[in-house]
Amino acid sequence: MIDVRRIRTEYEAVRAALGRRGDGTGELARVLELDEQMRQVAKERDDIRSHVNSLSKEVGQLRRDGDVAAAEAKQEESRELGERERAIAGVVDKIGEQVRELLLHIPNLPSPDAPDGAHAADNVEIKRVGPGDDPAAWADHQRVPHWDIGTELGILDLERAVKMSGAMFTMFRKQGATLARALCQVALDRNSDAFEEVRPPTVVLTETMISTGHLPKFADDAYHLERDDLWAIPTAEVPLTSLARDEILDESDLPMRLMAQTACFRREAGSAGRDTRGLLRVHEFDKVEILAYSTPAQAAELHADLLARAESLIASLGLTYRVLDLCAGDLGNSSARTFDIEVYSPGVDQWLEVSSVSWFSDYQARRANIRYRSAGAKGTETAHTLNGSALAVPRVWAAVVETHRQPDGSVRIPDVLLPYFRGATEIR
């Protein structure tokens, strides 16, 4: 969440930054109003508390002097003030809860480096590799959608997946399952030089979802296990961000780099009728996430490294891709700066987002209370968090089988995946 002290001291700058998003300025004025009210009430509480402490000293002195009546009178006054102080403290806590609830709904401030713009159409393409969506660059055998390729080769069984679990669930079979596993394994292997592998839980507490910004704003997009008040994670970013929740890290341990392969669950609320065929939009999928905690000074270099790693993996699969710098109006709720990687999938003739690499500044870490202490420092600072999709299976799987489909209907396995295919070089 945004630091309330920044709202207090830089209100117009914060309001202008949120205005670039077109979101959050309504709650901002109310936060400022409640914060001022809370500070006034807190001052009254503290003044009473100070008076009670002074009375306690007076009572002690009067008893030592033998003036029991005066001591008891002062003690009674102290008790009455104590009750008043507790009542006011309750008001402070209540206002504080209101402020926090409002802050949880206000998005992060976009980085000054994020392009201006209101919609996805305003995102800036900063790089393109491969022939892109040029119709002349793709042969007819590559213009077959992945759901038809998967059915023909017996590697994608959507019909039985729907029978088991309902619409927008998928099932890979035979070498289709091998391809899904290989994609995750190569993503883990290529990042193992710098990232600690973690296998976190896939169901988490409400506070864990709040820490990343997925709650309360996006509750409708998440699967909630109401009986146990647990949430199925939409991404490994959620548990990995809370790995250090309510902890103080040593600056010497930063940056801390983590990676995890997990199943991810998304209700995709509001997506009815949009990209629901095949693997373009599904309720459950496997993904490898890379994430880092850092100091503010380390964040820019880490962001560039996460992007380079995600881009390198997509390039190694022989896919056409582009990198987009997201405009302020298209940033995710928690992000200050995001680069998206999109692959071109010739069979469906679409650019598909396959990775978002984001820097969250101190927004998530403030929600999760993740702090660090520099050597010799008495105080602590709020950490920064960053994350990226090293590889999300469904859309990459789709682009691989469409891009590498051969004239005879088989699919050539990209060289980087061959070590995971038990000697096979093609899917037939």
Give the Cα separation of 193 and 182 in Å (integer). Answer: 18
Q: What is the mean pLDDT of each run of 10 residues along the chain (428 residues)?
A: 96 96 86 96 95 92 91 92 95 96 96 97 97 94 98 97 96 98 98 98 98 95 97 98 98 98 90 77 97 98 98 98 98 97 98 98 98 96 98 98 98 98 97
Tokens 């682009």 locate to 399
Please say whether the dihedral angle defined by the alpha carbons of residues 260, 265, 268 and 272, taken in this order, is positive or negative.
positive
Q: Do the beta carbons of residue 413 and residue 153 sit within 8 Å? A: no
Q: CATH topology for 4-105? A: Helix Hairpins (1.10.287)
* Cβ-Cβ contacts under 8 Å for 111 (sequence gap 6 or more): 336, 337, 359, 361
> Is the link from the previous residue into 135 a cis peptide, with omega within 30 of 0?
no
CB atoms closer than 10 angstroms to residue 9: 10
Indicate the DSSP class of residue 171.
-
pLDDT at 273: 60
> Using CA atoms in the order 333, 341, 279, 156, what is the torsion angle rounded to 10 degrees?
-140
Taking the C-alpha atoms of residue 369 and residue 372, their distance in angstroms, rounded to an integer, is 10
- For residue 424 the two structure tokens come to 């096979």
- From the list 305, 323, 321, the residue with the least C-alpha distance to 359 is 305
The reported pLDDT for the residue numbered 270 is 62
Q: Quick check: do 4-105 and 120-427 share a fold?
A: no
In the chain, where the domains are located: 4-105, 120-427
* Pairing of β 248-250 and β 371-373: parallel
CB 36: neighbour CB atoms within 10 A? 11
Q: CA-to-CA distance for 389 and 289, rounded, in angstroms?
A: 5
pLDDT at position 272 is: 59
CA gap 44, 39 in Å, rounded: 9
Q: Chain centroid to CA 33: how far?
A: 29
State how far the Cα of 177 lies from the Cα of 393, in Å rounded to an integer.
11
How many residues can be counted in the chain? 428
In sequence order, which residues have a C-beta less than 8 Å from that of residue 34 and are 6 or more positions away?
95, 98, 99, 102
Longest CA span, the chain: 106
Please say whether the dihedral angle defined by the alpha carbons of residues 89, 91, 92 and 96, taken in this order, is positive or negative: positive
The token pair at 149 is 């390729």
Q: What are the φ and ψ backbone dihedral angles of 289, each rounded to 5 degrees?
A: -110, 140
Please say whether the beta carbons of 265 and 231 come within 8 A.
Answer: no
Helix (H, G, I), strand (E, B) or coil at 141: helix
Q: Is the dihedral of CA 69, 74, 80, 82 positive or negative?
A: negative
- What CATH number belongs to 120-427? 3.30.930.10
Residue 418 DSSP one-character state: G
Query: Distance between CA atoms of 401 and 180, rounded to whole angstroms?
Result: 11
CA 238 to chain CA centroid, nearest Å: 6
pLDDT, residue 304, reads 98
